[in-house]
Structure 1
Amino acid sequence: MKGGSPMLILISSPRMRRREAHHVEEMFESGLARFHLRKPDHSAKEVARILDKLPEKCIRKVVLHRHAELLADYPLAGYHHSSIEKRISVEGSSSRSFHRLPKLAENKEKLDYAFFGPVFESISKEGHGPKVPMSALEDYFAQPKAKGCPAVYALGGIRRKKIRGLLEMGFTGVAILGAVWGKKDPVSALEGFLKVEDMILAELKRKSKGAKGNSFPAFLNSLRR
């Protein structure tokens, strides 16, 4: 993926869940590479309780939303800014959400990656659907200047069968929420996504062997031209 970015990012449920830290640790053990901890209606103290239950090796793969004061207390992977939040300087990755295509296209901030969505009808938020047609997204990724922009992850209504098409369009990967936390067994649901990721990566590696003189990342980029 672009700059070594993972294909899948999991965002936490906005609500506190029973045995949440335990489930997240299991997900990391299953192969999850990046987890966004987002609890917009909960205090820093409540969010810290989740982090306190995770081993350090897992915390290093967690990106925090809001509660920037916790960055000094934990070895987190980075910080994610909301679409309206003023950017802060952090160690680790710096990312942001975008909900309007012009804002993404005009972005001048130095970001490691961005979320854009919703691209489909949201699973977790009823009535929250896309405001940008797929044709506009295709046009955006077809522009030469899009190649120099941060990695962009599709957000909203992401299901396993949608991943391949989004990657071919130009997205670096997908950010998932409702398709995992809306299931009775979220760990098993995530493992289903990870299997799709493995299948796509295996297929791309096979195809890349036929791309003379190209590295695997270069081959991936060639698919998006």
Structure 2
Amino acid sequence: MIVISNPTEITNEINIINSLFEEGMELFHIRKPNYSIEELRSFLSAINSSYYSKLVLHQHHELAEEFQIKRVHFTEKERLTKPVKLSKPDRYKFLSTSVHSIKDFNILSNAFDYAFLSPIYPSISKQNYVPTKNAFEEIKKRTNHHTKLIALGGISVENIEEVLHNNFDDYALLGAIWNTKNPIENFKKCQTIAQSF
């Protein structure tokens, strides 16, 4: 299970992030599209450094070396406009990206360890962001088995089982964590469901 940060600042955010790690969060994607490099540096500095190996940077990849972060994410736009070399740069151990169709997923470079496919369900965090195709039908056309396929978009306690029963390798949470009154409790509920598989 992967958790993605809220794109904008959340009250008590750093404490929540550290608590999620304490509860067993495996990977945390930091997606702060409007943060300057200084704002992101300050944000990273506030996270417990023992968790840096579990952080994934979406922006300001140049900070990865400074914070010994070995995981970076490329948006679909970045991947298409600045193609990632087939071999991983020495400074990164893990690369991830985003896709919006199985067709695009199937032609991804083997350099990518995993990719988010979204949206699977109507998004919790983005208004009017809904699927245009049935992801569970589309996944039957999957031919890329080197890159892990991660479900994103509208994933919640109510539908995690359906996602995992339909051949996704894993899932990512955003709205189910940050659009709730108790992020930690909601995370634990989702974790419990995932652990039963």
Please confirm whether the aligned pair reaches a TM-score higher than 0.5, indicating the same fold: yes
Tell me what 1:37 maps to: 30
Counterparts in 2 of 1:132-151, with a 5 A limit?
A: 132-141=133-142, 145-146=143-144, 148-151=145-148
Contact 1:56 1:75 (8 Å CA) reproduced: no
Tell me what 1:167 maps to: 164
Tell me what 2:122 maps to: 121
1:108 deviates by 2.7
1:136 deviates by 3.2
Work out which of the residue numbers 164, 169, 175 in structure 2 matches 1:178: 175
Q: Distance in 2 between matches of 1:18 and 1:134?
A: 34
Structure that is richer in helix per residue: 1
Tell me what 2:189 maps to: 192
1:138 deviates by 3.6
1:53 deviates by 1.1
Q: Distance in 2 between matches of 1:136 and 1:72?
A: 40
The structure that has the greater radius of gyration is: 1
1:191 deviates by 1.5
The alignment partner of 2:57 has SS state of strand
RMSD: 1.6
1:39 counterpart letter in structure 2: K
Work out which of the residue numbers 44, 48, 55 in structure 2 matches 1:62: 55
Q: Which runs of 5+ in 2 are unaligned?
A: none
Tell me what 1:53 maps to: 46
| Residue 93 in structure 1 maps to residue 94 in structure 2 | yes
Q: Distance in 2 between matches of 1:16 and 1:119?
A: 25
Residues 2-29 of structure 1: per-residue CA shift (max 9 Å, x gap) = xxxxxx0000000012221111000000
1:45 deviates by 1.1
**Which stretch of the first structure deviates more once superposed, 175-184 or 186-195?**
186-195
Q: Distance in 2 between matches of 1:180 and 1:62?
A: 17
Change (3 A) 1:135 1:182: closer
2:74 counterpart letter in structure 1: H
The alignment partner of 1:57 has SS state of helix
Tell me how many residue pairs correspond in the alignment. 189
Regions of 4+ moved over 4 Å: none
Contact 2:160 2:190 (8 Å CA) reproduced: no
Contact 2:115 2:150 (8 Å CA) reproduced: yes
Tell me what 1:79 maps to: 72
2:69 counterpart letter in structure 1: L
Q: Distance in 2 between matches of 1:174 and 1:108?
A: 21
Q: Distance in 2 between matches of 1:135 and 1:194?
A: 22
TM-score normalised by length of structure 1: 0.79
Q: Distance in 2 between matches of 1:156 and 1:53?
A: 28
Contact 2:64 2:70 (8 Å CA) reproduced: no
Change (3 A) 1:119 1:191: same
Contact 2:136 2:166 (8 Å CA) reproduced: no
Residues 88-140 of structure 1: per-residue CA shift (max 9 Å, x gap) = 73422101000122111222342111100101100001100012223532422
The alignment partner of 1:60 has SS state of helix
Q: Which runs of 5+ in 1 are unaligned?
A: 1-7, 201-225
Q: Distance in 1 between matches of 2:116 and 2:66?
A: 26
